[in-house]
Every structure is written in structure tokens, then in C-alpha cells.
């Protein structure tokens, strides 16, 4: 079986993105029987949809999972729904802001993940990984990525979803003005591996 993990590079004032670290560390590995392909996405509204569609359609994995940084969160949060909406107060790395338009004018207002996030969160908590369900991926690039992941995953009949992760210690230590909760990168990686192990629940 195969899985694509999508992550992101730095953006705004966050000079290191733990999702980039994770997808680079896991790329090429076999984890819980899944051959992992790590894909780094640009933090731009204009490119993300096309890259995700191309990778999912060409590779036809069993699982497509996005991972993104959610500064301020202190748990690994599995997103339940992506909304058909772009809005942001901060620009992407090309300088563009989400202005309130729909991601897909012809698409549904929201698309639910087909992962059993309730059971997966319980598995994470049983392993002492702080985790919860999130009902909003926001309106920034992570939500756009999840919407694209789910549109293409559903068309192919595969599993898809999105996970938001906290800042990691090194990021917070490098800039004390961030003043964010953090989680050790090893704990985050352990959590992602548990999600991979249980994606078919």
C-alpha cells in the first residue's frame, strides 16, 4: 500500500515548519505497511490545488494525508471538514491573501474527511499523544489543501484527510516572540505514525 504525505515550508513569521520536517523524514520509508511519498507544497493559493491533483491522480495512493502547522494549538488535531472558502489575514508566500472567494465555484460548500477521526483520536490519546478533533481548518492554505485532497481522494475512492500540528520546540526556542505552545517533534512524528497505522479504521 502507498500513502502521500503533503507538508509545507516556512510561511509568515514561522521560519521553520514542522510539517516539512516530517514529510522529509518519512519520505521513502515504509510505515505500518505504507510506502510513504513525502511531497512539499508551496504556501501559495495559486499552486496547491494543481499539485495535489497531479500527485494523487498520478500516484493513486491508498491514503492522501495533509499535514500543516497550526500555531497556538497544543494538540495534534485531525480536521473533520474542509470548507469551500478562501480567506486570510496574512498573505501567502507570494503576497496573495484569501479574499473570501470559493475554492471551487461548482464544488460543495464543505467536504468531510473519510477518515474515522473519532476513533483515530482515541487511539492517539490511548498512546498518551495529546490529540483532538478540529471542526475548522480555517481559510488559509491548509484548508485549501484539505479541500483539494478530499475532492481528488473521493473521486478515486481512497482515504484522505488533514492533520494540524503544533509548533515544535526548536521553532519556539528560535524566536521567543512567538510565545506558542509546542510539542516535541518526536512526539508529533509518533502521532503521525499512529494515524498512518489506523487510517483504515
Contact (CB, 8 A) for 69 and 6: no
pLDDT in tens, 127-179: 999 999 999 999 999 999 999 999 999 999 999 999 999 998 888 888 767 88
- Domains, the chain, in order of start with CATH, read 2-197 (3.40.630.20)
- Is residue 142 annotated as part of the catalytic site, yes or no? yes
Q: How far is CA 43 from CA 9, 32, 33, 173, 200, in A?
A: 7, 29, 30, 23, 29
Phi, psi of 157 (to 5 degrees): 75, 35
- The partner residues of 131 in beta bridges, in order of sequence, read 76
Is 164 annotated in the active site?
A: yes
pLDDT block averages, 10 residues each, the chain of length 201? 96 90 97 96 95 98 97 96 94 91 96 98 98 95 97 97 94 81 95 97 91
Q: pTM for the whole thing? A: 0.96
Q: 18-26 vs 185-197: helix axis angle to the nearest 10?
A: 60
Of 164, 167, 168, 180, the catalytic one is 164
Let me know if 180 is a catalytic residue.
no
Cα–Cα distance measured from residue 95 to residue 4, given in angstroms and rounded to the nearest whole number: 28
The single residue of 118, 126, 127, 142 carrying the catalytic annotation is: 142
CA 53 from chain centre, in angstroms, equals 15
Secondary structure (3-state) at 57: helix
The pLDDT score that the predictor gives to residue 110 is 97
Amino acid at each position: 500500500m502507498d500513502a502521500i504525505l503533503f507538508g509545507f515550508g516556512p510561511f509568515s513569521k514561522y521560519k521553520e515548519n514542522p510539517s516539512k520536517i516530517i514529510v522529509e523524514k518519512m519520505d521513502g520509508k515504509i510505515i505500518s505497511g505504507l510506502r510513504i511519498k513525502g511531497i512539499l507544497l508551496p504556501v501559495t493559493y495559486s499552486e496547491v490545488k494543481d499539485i495535489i491533483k497531479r500527485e494523487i491522480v498520478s500516484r493513486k495512493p491508498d491514503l492522501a494525508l495533509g499535514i500543516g502547522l497550526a500555531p497556538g494549538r497544543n494538540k495534534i488535531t485531525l480536521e473533520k471538514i474542509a470548507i469551500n472558502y478562501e480567506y486570510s489575514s496574512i498573505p501567502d508566500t507570494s503576497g496573495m491573501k484569501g479574499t473570501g472567494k470559493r475554492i471551487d465555484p461548482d464544488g460543495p460548500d464543505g467536504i468531510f474527511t473519510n477518515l474515522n477521526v473519532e476513533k483515530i483520536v482515541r487511539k492517539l490519546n490511548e498512546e498518551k499523544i495529546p490529540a483532538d478533533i478540529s471542526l475548522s481548518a480555517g481559510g488559509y492554505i491548509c484548508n485549501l489543501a484539505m479541500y483539494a485532497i478530499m475532492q481528488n481522494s473521493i473521486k478515486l475512492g481512497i482515504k484522505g484527510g488533514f492533520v494540524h500540528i503544533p509548533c515544535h520546540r526548536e521553532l519556539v526556542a528560535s524566536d521567543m516572540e512567538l510565545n506558542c505552545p509546542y510539542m516535541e517533534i518526536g512526539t508529533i512524528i509518533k502521532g503521525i505514525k499512529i494515524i498512518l497505522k489506523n487510517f483504515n479504521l
